[in-house]
Amino acid sequence: VAAHFADMSYAPAPESDAEARAWLAGHGATFGHFIDGAFTEPAALFDTFEPATGAPLAKLSGGSVEAVDRAVAAARAAAAGWAGLKGHQRARHLYALSRSIQRHARLFAVLEAIDNGKPLRETRDLDVPLAARHLLHHAGWAQLQESVFDGYRPVGVVGQIIPWNFPLLMLAWKVAPALALGNTVVLKPAEYTSLTALLFAELAAKAGLPKGVLNIVTGDGTTGRHLVDHQGVDKIAFTGSTAVGRDIRERTAGSGKALTLELGGKSPFVVLGDADLDGAVEGVVDAIWFNQGQVCCAGSRLLVAESIAEAFKARLLRRMQTLRLGPPLDKTVDMGAIVDPVQLERITTLVETGADGAPVHHAGVTLPEGGSWYPPTLITEVSPAAPVATDEIFGPVAVMMTFRTPQEAVQLANHTRYGLSASVWSETIGEALAVAAQLHAGVVWVNGTNLFDAAVGFGGKKESGFGREGGKEGCYAYLTPIAWDGPVREALTPPAGSAEGVDLSPIDRTAKLYIGGKQARPDGNYSRTVVNPQGVAIGEVGEGNRKDIRNAVAAARAATGWAAATTHNRAQILYYIAENLSVRADEFAHRLTAMTGASDDAAGAEVESAIQFLFTHAAFADKWDGAVHSPPLRGLAL
């Protein structure tokens, strides 16, 4: 059967690239940055290439400190005017941007395929429509902002850095919520794939988007670091590798910048013993050979029940032979080219050195000449500790392991430092959901994979990042609460016999840790002195160590009753805490003054803000199942 499929011939069905080439020629295939509504003079040029052929495609400008400064200044200058628009006014702009993508859908699809190397079928049928969908969806949130997000304001100037695997779609994921909610943007696309971002910016200006609201600065990682470090940026939103995400978090620590990270993954694809094998095989095609495997949530770890492993492997190997590689503008191909020779070398090296002797199966396909190509690949009998099983390959390579019981499958699936997504396949939905509920992943699909929609939040856990993109929950990443500026409520009269103010007598009042619902002495029995701004000791607190943190995390993890409690019950507890804080407001204010040196009025306002925060969220808890429609519970928060 495999030989039969291998001998099948295909008639190519190429898509014309004339319009895309004409757009490039109209700019002399040379581009500056897009700042304050117009292209800058090209400078510090570098070449970008067609992945399918290796031929030069365009020259782009490197992003200097001066270019980033100009872009941030333009975004800052436009911020007040853009945020000052009514929500429905910003919505009209986003509707216009979405319609602009739809009107130029074929141009975007062809240009993306040329620039990225992915098949036109994917850019035409997924990337472009979903990009337009994100803009339409977030236009709705802009329309509703005053009512739904009352009490929040835009973050300000947002620096966004996107990867090369979904250039236009990642732009829409980032830009749509930022603009919808009143922020201005400086976006840095990947140096390999900047062209659709520049086309989008050009069309946005023609569609009437105000100058400075959207700015595009091209360049390599150095440009990204300039943007991350810029003091005029209020938030960084990054999608890319875990290593770079870790560096960005270190760079932004203590800066006051808001941060969201969507990073790498090594997603499990769990096939239980009663799964529909043919359906699961097609799921693998979508999970790992879609976009040449260059997908952060690719289902690259196949965990298959031992009872069906041989049958599943045979069908999957046979299916691999039917995949066709070829020029991305050929509408009949299934896989295109790897984005760049550097990425191709990474894939090749990891497969050659990281399989640890496991059998490597390459599809029997003929690779096109020129460009960067890698065949669909399956590695079987893989050890869970092998590098190909633990490290993100980011290419069309799946590794296969087996398990005997669903619980073993869960353990194997969670045996990773990543936590972006997972997929479970079973004909017994109850069992599939039971397994899915135990997986440590931000997104879990059942009998499906790589299913996205603008209305559904997407994001990871562990080393796959934090924050969500899409849906209502993704909107909060681009908003910040408005500080309470109402009247300060008078504190309730303290009960008779209570001490007025804070007792700073020499009595030992060392504060213990609070773990598992009770006070606990620190494991090391150490304490540390708290001093006021003048250096005078005002108290002692326990000095926690790593074991104390483990105990606290274990206690939080074991507190399943809190999530299971009714929303009304949680609200009542928050109300109770708020009322108790009200009774002791003066005491807390005096403690704040003693520790920080703040004035009595400032300390009182701080305590009042805390009280209002508790009361507000008690109200939200009480309405969780009703009008609030808040994001789902996330579990343990550190």
Sign of CA dihedral 286, 291, 294, 296: negative
Query: For residues 41 and 64, what is the distance between their CA atoms, to the nearest angstrom?
Result: 13
10 Å Cβ neighbour count for 455? 14
Residues 6+ apart with CB under 8 A from 156: 79, 183, 184, 234, 235
For tokens 């069992």, name the residue: 431
Long-range CB pairs of 6-15 (<8 Å, 24+ gap) are: 6/321, 6/364, 8/322, 10/324, 10/332, 11/332, 12/326, 12/327, 12/330, 12/332, 13/330, 13/331, 13/332, 14/327, 14/329, 14/330, 14/331, 15/110, 15/113, 15/120, 15/329, 15/330, 15/331
First to last CA, the chain: 54
C-beta of residue 455 within 8 angstroms of C-beta of residue 468: no
DSSP code string of 90-109: HHHHHHHHHHHHHHTHHHHH
Handedness of CA 117, 118, 119, 121 (dihedral sign): negative
- Contacting residues for 249 by C-beta, under 8 A, at least 6 apart: 259, 261
> How many DSSP H helices and E strands does the chain contain?
23, 24
Q: Is 487 exposed, middle or buried (0-12, 13-18, 19+ CB in 10 A)?
A: exposed
Q: DSSP string spanning 517-532?
A: TEEE--TT--EEEEE-
Residue with tokens 């620190």: 522
User: For 127-194, where are the alpha helices, taking DSSP H only?
Assistant: 128-148, 167-180
CB-CB contact of 446 with 286 (8 Å):
no
> Residues with Cβ < 8 Å from 309, sequence gap 6 or more?
400, 402
Alpha-carbon distance 197 to 202, whole Å?
A: 9
Q: How do beta strands 258-262 and 397-403 pair?
A: unpaired
CA distance 578 to 586: 14
Q: CA 432 to CA 402: how far, in whole Å?
A: 17
Q: Are strands 56-61 and 152-154 parallel, antiparallel or unpaired?
A: unpaired
Residue of 108, 160, 174, 121 whose CA lies nearest to 14: 121
Query: Is 296 tagged catalytic?
Result: yes
Cβ 379 vs Cβ 401: under 8 Å: no
Q: What is the residue type of 127? A: D
Catalytic site residue from 15, 191, 202, 262: 262
Tokens of 444: 């879990």
Residue pair 146/86 in contact by the 8 Å Cβ criterion? yes
Can you name the residues that pair with 185 across neighbouring β-strands?
158, 214
Q: Is 2 left (phi over 0), alpha (psi -120 to 50) or beta?
A: alpha
- Of the residues 191, 202, 296, 463, only one is catalytic, namely 296
Q: Active-site residues: which are they?
A: 262, 296
